[in-house]
Amino acid sequence: MTYGTLTTALAGFGTGLSLIVAIGAQNAFVLRQGVHRHAVLWVVGICALSDAALIVLGVAGVGAVVTAWPAALTAVAVAGGLFLLGYGLLAARRALRPAGAAALDARGAATGSARAAVLTCLALTWLNPHVYLDTVLLLGSVAADHGTGRWVFGAGAAAASLVWFAALGYGSRLLSGLLARPRAWRALDGLVAATMLTMGGLLLAGA
């Protein structure tokens, strides 16, 4: 690998990481699943592979097509906003109910099926228009500035997504001791609820 190729890859990694590392619906869900140690591999894989697919589309120039069809983003914003509001209300309900705060069983595993976790993760990822704006449009346009090195830039951004979600999903289990206390878990659910409700409201307001 030449110095120029490495520099381009690192630029993609840094740009991708700067767009991913933020408190959002997807990150909050990955954090919650990681603390529960429930379907973490599925969730991390879906998030990383989805980002990689969207980054490929952006580098390939699909962003221009999305820009030419704004109705698509509007439809996604409405669907995503409604979904986030519903998920946020469920999280708020868990936070407000003392009985629901003890969400970890004796083995530290979460209740609920892996299928439900997968479907929720897919919805949080693909019904969020900000994902398209960040990966397809923004990353795609920045990658285009690197000319023939745009695919190396995209690979770096995809690697950043994988590293971040793996670290978030598997690293968050270090908080399981702290969140063994119902009060701490209710606080986390409250944070998740606030994040989901805020983003859902903003999506519907901007649709």
pLDDT at residue 103 in the model: 43
Give per-residue pLDDT as tens, 41-52.
999 999 999 999
Give per-residue pLDDT as tens, 157-191.
999 999 999 999 999 888 767 666 777 767 777 87
Q: In the structure encoding, which two tokens stand for residue 154, read together?
A: 């995209």
What pTM was computed for the model? 0.72
Cβ atoms of 63 and 24 within 8 Å: the answer is: no
pLDDT, averaged across the chain: 80
Residue 104 backbone dihedrals phi, psi, to 5 degrees: -100, 135
Percent of the chain with pLDDT over 70: 82
Confidence of residue 144 (pLDDT cuts 50, 70, 90): confident
pLDDT at residue 53 in the model: 94
**Count of all residues that appear for the chain in the document:** 207
pLDDT at residue 63 in the model: 59
pLDDT at residue 52 in the model: 95
Burial letters 2-37, b for 16+ CB under 10 A, else e: eeeeeebbebbbebbbebbeeebbbbbbbbbbbbbb
Domain ranges for the chain: 3-206
User: Across residues 27-40, what is the average pLDDT?
Assistant: 87
CB neighbour list of residue 51: distance below 8 Å, 6 or more residues apart: 16, 20, 131, 135, 157, 158, 161, 165
The amino acid present at 124, given as its one-letter code, is: L
Residue 77, classified by CB atoms within 10 Å of its CB into exposed (0-12), middle (13-18) or buried (19+), is buried
User: Is the pLDDT assigned to residue 105 strictly greater than 50?
Assistant: no
**More confidently predicted of 130 and 119:** 119
